Amino acid sequence: MQFLPFQLIFGLLFCTFLPSLGTALEFINKYFFTGGNINLAISSLLVVLTIVTLHSIKRFPGITSSTYIIPVVIFWFILLLVPIKASNIAYSLYFYSFSACCLVIYLFFIDIINRKHEHYVFAYIPVGRAELIPEQIPTVSWMPLSSPQLDEEVNGIVTDLHSDDLTDDWERFITDKTLKGTPVYHYRNIRESLTGRVRINHMYENELGSLLPSQNYLFLKYCLDVVLILISLPITFIIGLITAIAIKLEDGGKIFYIQPRVGYRGEVFQVYKFRSMREKAKEVLTTENDNRITKVGKFIRKTRIDELPQFINVIKGEMSLIGPRAEFLDFAVELEKEVPFFNYRHIVKPGISGWAQVNQGYATGAEETKIKIEYDFYYIKHISFSLDLLIFFKTIHTMITGFGAR
């Protein structure tokens, strides 16, 4: 049931037409299933959008689809319900809710079936840089090949396709396996797909073209950011007001903290945050249990409430809700000298949350920062609605758990 068309067909049958059987009973139809064909239409949209979204986000590294079933169903359930309610079209909330419940049950059933196929085994040809691939990615099973022969079923074959040690026999073996339907991966491509990071130390100049995001999607992304901010404004305004009062009551200092950061296309802008540290504290990278952080600051940093004023930066077009973290000006200058292609991360707007933040958390030191930038390059290369939606769900989890907060 991993084949998308089959999932869609059976999903529509189970989650849309099964609830419609209730319309055969006059009593149930009268009190619960008003709306006629509009019920089938919105329930069908819910099924299709949810299954396609889950199928899209599952391709990203470290994703267990069962974790996102309920969040994705709720996301599309609400998003489809809002315009229906606003347009006053006759529909059945009971039918729609029943269909959503059927969809959740169906998706968990599919997930249980598919889990049997989620254990990955890769064979690898130990030449060049591919020799180190098992150490770099221990999350899957690796089978070394000592000779050009493989009789077992594997998810793919990995090697360094640029290595001079790849003999004619190995190349014939690779060609034969490819023709028989076994995928063959260059070690860097499989590393990227399994770790969610793009290795920048070994990038070639001609690969920068693959990191050019769609300008049409970037414009759509800005529009979605503004809409989401306006929709959430009644809640975020109240949270922001309570936070401002708490900051003022604790030490009587300033409520907001303004700092220059490097943003889109290398332009410097002023980022707004709720102040979480004592005033006149020395500006250095935050460490674990930093004594500069106030009591209120500790809470708002853990829950990411301190980032709410950055909604102003998003409205102004300086930031996005999701993107690479905006770096301190001095820190960015140093990283530009140390990290190859560092400035290329400014090809998209910095974000309040991002792929690096939800996977790694707060980075301290040069090595952690280089890993963070590898996550940023992965995001830029694969930027899409499905990846942004995945980061949105992971951000909510981060806010609840406080993952990566300093």
| Residue partners of 364: CB distance under 8 A and separation at least 6 | 285, 286, 287, 406
In terms of C-beta density within 10 A (0-12 exposed, 13-18 middle, 19 or more buried), how is residue 238 classed?
exposed
SS3 160: coil
Specify the fold of 121-195: Rossmann fold (3.40.50)
- Residue 375, Cα to own-chain centre: how many angstroms? 11
Rounded (10°) CA dihedral 130, 135, 139, 140: 40
Q: What is the DSSP string of 278-318?
A: -TT-------TT-TTB-HHHHHHHHTTGGGGGGHHHHHTTS
* Alpha-carbon dihedral 38, 39, 45, 47, rounded to 10 degrees: -170
Cα–Cα distance between 380 and 213 in angstroms, integer? 7
Q: What is the mean pLDDT of residues 71-93?
A: 84
pLDDT tops 70 at residue 404: no
Per-residue burial over 184-209, b if 16 or more Cβ lie within 10 Å, else e, is bbebbebbbebbbbbebeebeeeeee
Beta strands in 195-350 (DSSP E): 256-262, 268-274, 320-322, 327-328
Burial class (CB in 10 A: 0-12, 13-18, 19+), 9: exposed
Average pLDDT, the chain: 82
Nearest residue to 192 (alpha-carbon basis) of 380, 385, 397: 380
pLDDT single digits (tens) 143-181: 999 888 888 888 889 998 888 888 889 999 999 988 988
pLDDT confidence of residue 302: 83
Question: What confidence category does residue 308 fall into, taking pLDDT thresholds of 50, 70 and 90?
Answer: very high
Give tens-digit pLDDT for 259-305.
Answer: 899 989 889 999 999 988 886 655 555 555 667 788 888 888 888 89
- pLDDT > 70 in the chain, percent: 83
For the segment 84-110, the average pLDDT, to the nearest whole number, is: 83
pLDDT at 222 over 90: yes
Span(s) in the chain for CATH 3.40.50: 121-195
User: Per-residue pLDDT tens for 371-393?
Assistant: 888 898 889 888 999 999 999 98
Sign of the Cα pseudo-torsion (33, 6, 56, 66, in order): positive
| Banded pLDDT at 22 (limits 50, 70, 90) | low
Given a cut of 80, whether residue 12 has pLDDT beyond it is: no
Pairing outcome for strands 184-186 and 327-328: unpaired
pTM, two decimal places: 0.80
